[in-house]
Amino acid sequence: MNLKACAEMDAQQAGSCAKYHLDAPATYLKQIRFWKTPLQQCADGSKSCTGYSDWQKKWQDIKG
């Protein structure tokens, strides 16, 4: 995070520093979970994870 950017961001759009969490404590970054495309083989090497095509079908069921 670059707190020096907050002044410029807020000058261009009020409240944008807080909106995009640039003024959040470093612990905020530990809460972020990045997207991982579903694979048939799990990160732990097992094969119990959902493959992408199955995941896609289930996602469509949820979305309607």
Task: Give dist(CA 61, CA 54) in Å, integer.
Answer: 11
- pTM value is 0.44
Residue type, 43: A
Query: In terms of C-beta density within 10 A (0-12 exposed, 13-18 middle, 19 or more buried), how is residue 17 classed?
Result: buried
- Phi and psi dihedrals of 32, rounded to 5? -75, 130
Structure tokens at 23: 């003024």
Over residues 9-27, the pLDDT tens digits come to 999 999 999 998 888 888 8
Q: Provide the residue ranges of all domains of the chain, joining segments of one domain with +.
A: 1-33, 34-64
Question: Residues 34-54: what's their mean pLDDT?
Answer: 78
